Structure formats: structure tokens, C-alpha cells
Amino acid sequence: MDAIESVKKEMFRRKYSSRTIQTYNYCLERFLRYHKNDSLRGISKKDVKDYLDKLVDKGVSGSTLNVNLSALKFLLKNVLNKNFLFRIKYSKTPKSLPIVLTKEEVVSLFNSLENNKHKLMLKLMYGAGLRVSELVNLRVNDLNLDNNFGFVRKGKGNKDRLFIIPRILKEELVDYAIKNRLGSDSYLFNGYKGNMSVRSVQEIIKKASRKAKINKKVHPHTLRHSYATHLIENGYDVASVQSLLGHNSMETTMVYLHIARPNMINVRSPLDSLQLNEDNRKSGYEEEYNKDISSISQE
């Protein structure tokens, strides 16, 4: 298991996130138990392919297959200095649209909460587009309330990023900090042992969505998805949303264009015109419809 320690040290040196390190180590431990070879130097491309084929036979998901391949590549290239030319293609993972709440459902979710601290947490998570891990690790001195922004420190990919603090929450955040006697270096939302746990936030949202009778699978990241989608519905461009979310690739952000409500686009279905021509010639609606189409074509 010295190889595992070597991978840990190398990943720490390269500033990989703790979650990625933990995932890679888990994958490598399972591979090494399967390999059962005294010498790691004897690992070949065939060993890697056979192991991945075994995972495929077990019916693992495409994302699980990909992360195992990435972990093995890291071990071989960066720890064992084996420069194999891998021709193993990454598995395609099915792309599904994320679950998003309507603006009305977001309001219902907030209104279902009686605990003011829990309500403030969810409002900030939605209003700033924060990941749950970013929320629970926020400290008071990460917030610049005078200028309506804050900083996520060492977020996903071990990166810092700026986020916008909703103006409507400024006074509430100040009152909360004063009431709870929070120091500048205190966690904004304390738990029993330091900061609040991710699990606690998950439970809060689960219970709130059930109480609000929202018939969707709601979890903390749903609020971030909703934040991004509602920004686009409100007319903000993808580049701005990408920056606020901290996405490296615009393609990651583009998914929210597909989720935004159709009413953000001033276009009518062609079926409406067919129905118009057949049933509503005398209603005056046809004239209104033609004006709409004309205005769109001129934009």
C-alpha cells in the first residue's frame, strides 16, 4: 500500500481536492487487491484493461469506469513513471438535464422553513449559487457585505472564486452574525463540531421540500441548478453565469439554456398558427400573432 501513500502525496503536492484524492485512493485500493502482484512495476496495460473489463461486466456506470481509468493513469504515469500510450476510450455517460425548481417552488421551499438559521442558509445557497460544501465552509471574513460579494476559498478544484451576495440578505446576515456573536474567523453556520455538516444541510432541504409538497427530488445542488437557470431566464448571458458558477468550460453552463422556461424566448409553436388559420380567423388573434412573428424576424 506504499503506492497509495505515494499517490496521496503527489496529489496533495498538485493541490487536488480532498474528495478527488479520496476517490482515487479508493479506486486504486480495489485495483491493487485485484492485481495481487508483489511488484507494482510489473503492472501492464493488459492488467489495466482486464480490470476495467471486469468492472464493465459488473455493470458499473460510465462515470465510475472513467474515474477508475483516471486513477490508474495517475498511478502509472505520475508515481510509477510508466509512459504507456493508452488507447482505452473513456466511457460515454448518459447526459440528463438537472432537476430545477420553478421560482414559485423556491418561494414555497423557503416558506416551509420555520428555523430562521436554516432559512437563511438556503436563501444564501440559492441566492449566491453556492455548492453545499462551499456554504458550510464559509467564514464571516469571506463576506464583503459593504460591496455585496464574498469569496469561496478552495472550492471545487481547489480554486477560489467570487460570488454575489443578494442585497436583500445583507441586513439579515449582519443581524445573524451579531446575534450569534460570530468572530471574523468564525464559520458562518456553526454545527456541533465546528462548521455545519453537509449531511445536515441535505436533511434540512429534504424535509423542507417534503413539507412544501414539491414533487421533485430536491437536494442541495438543486438550488444551484435553479439559481443558474433563473439567471438565464432573467436575461443574463451564459458567459456571466459561467463566471458566477466557477465553471471552467462554457459547455458545462450551456446546459441551463436547455432548462430555462420556453417563455423566456418570444416564439410561438407553429401549431398555434395552424389552429389560428382553422378556428380563429375572425377572433382578431391572427393579427396579433402576425405582429409577434414580424417583430421577432426584425430582431
Q: Which of 24, 1, 5, 17 is nearest to 131 (CA)?
A: 17
Choose, from 247, 268, 285, 289, the residue flagged as catalytic: 247
- Is residue 11 packed enough to be buried (19+ CB in 10 Å), middle (13-18) or exposed (0-12)? buried
Mean pLDDT of the 182-189 span: 90
Domain stops at, among 28, 61, 79:
79
Beta strand ranges found along the chain (DSSP E): 143-144, 149-152, 161-164
Q: How confident is the model at residue 66 (pLDDT cuts 50, 70, 90)?
A: confident
Is the same domain home to 125 and 185? yes
Query: Are both 201 and 110 inside the same structural domain?
Result: yes
Cβ–Cβ under 8 Å, residues 228 and 256: yes
Domain annotation covers residue 220:
yes
**Domain limits for position 143:** 105-259
pLDDT-based confidence at 285, cuts 50/70/90?
very low
Burial of 184 (0-12, 13-18, 19+ CB in 10 A): exposed
Q: Are residues 254 and 272 in the same domain?
A: no
Q: Are residue 253 and residue 272 in the same domain, yes or no?
A: no
CATH classification at residue 164: 1.10.443.10
**Same structural domain, 253 and 299:** no
**Residue 17 confidence (pLDDT):** 76
Distance of alpha carbon 185 from alpha carbon 140, whole angstroms: 6
Select which of 221, 268, 285, 289 is catalytic.
Answer: 221
Let me know if residue 86 belongs to a domain.
no
Q: pLDDT category, 126, cuts 50, 70, 90?
A: very high
Residue 118 annotated among the catalytic residues of the structure: no
Banded pLDDT at 219 (limits 50, 70, 90): very high
Q: Are 203 and 76 in contact (CB under 8 A)?
A: no
Backbone dihedral angles phi then psi of residue 98, each to the nearest 5 degrees = -70, 155
Looking at residue 181, what DSSP letter applies?
A: T
Select, from the ranges 5-9, 94-98, 113-117, 254-258, the one with the highest average predicted confidence (pLDDT).
Answer: 113-117
Q: Is 156 a catalytic residue?
A: yes
Active-site residue among 118, 119, 123, 131? Answer: 131
Number of C-alpha atoms within 13 angstroms, CB side, residue 76?
20
Q: Are residues 152 and 227 in the same domain?
A: yes
Question: 252 and 287 in one domain?
Answer: no
Distance, CA of 77 to CA of 71 (rounded, Å): 10
- Supply the pTM of this predicted model: 0.63
Of 82-96, 131-145, 165-179, which range is least confident? 82-96
Query: Is 89 annotated in the active site?
Result: no
More confident residue, 15 or 207: 207
- Residues 219, 113: one domain? yes
Told to judge if 131 belongs to the known catalytic residues of this protein, a careful annotator would answer: yes
| pLDDT (0 to 100) of residue 94 | 59
Q: How far apart are alpha carbons 48 and 82 in whole angstroms? A: 13
Indicate the number of domains in the chain: 3
Q: Which candidate in 49, 153, 154, 156 is catalytic?
A: 156
For 68-84, what is the mean pLDDT? 84
Provide the pLDDT for residue 39.
Answer: 61
Average per-residue pLDDT for the chain? 79
Whether 247 sits among the annotated catalytic residues: the reply is yes
Q: Give yes or no: residues 14 and 31 share one domain.
A: yes
Same domain for 110 and 252, yes or no, is yes
Task: Select the more confidently predicted residue: 212 or 153.
Answer: 212
* Shared-domain flag, residues 134 and 159: yes
Tell me the percentage of the chain whose pLDDT exceeds 70: 75
Identify whether 94 is part of a domain: no
In-domain check, residue 152: yes
Q: How far from each other are the two terminal CA atoms of the chain, in whole angstroms?
A: 64
CATH number for 9: 1.10.150.130
Which one from 224, 225, 227, 230 is the annotated catalytic residue? 224
111 falls within a domain: yes
Q: 213: which DSSP letter? A: T
Residue 87: what pLDDT?
Answer: 66
Q: Is residue 89 part of a domain?
A: no
One DSSP character per residue, 210-221 reads HHTT--S---HH
Residue 176 confidence (pLDDT): 93
On whether residue 100 sits in a domain, the answer given is: no
Are 246 and 272 in a shared domain?
A: no
Is 110 inside a domain boundary? yes
* Residue where one domain finishes, among candidates 15, 44, 79: 79
Residue range 51-80: mean pLDDT, rounded: 85
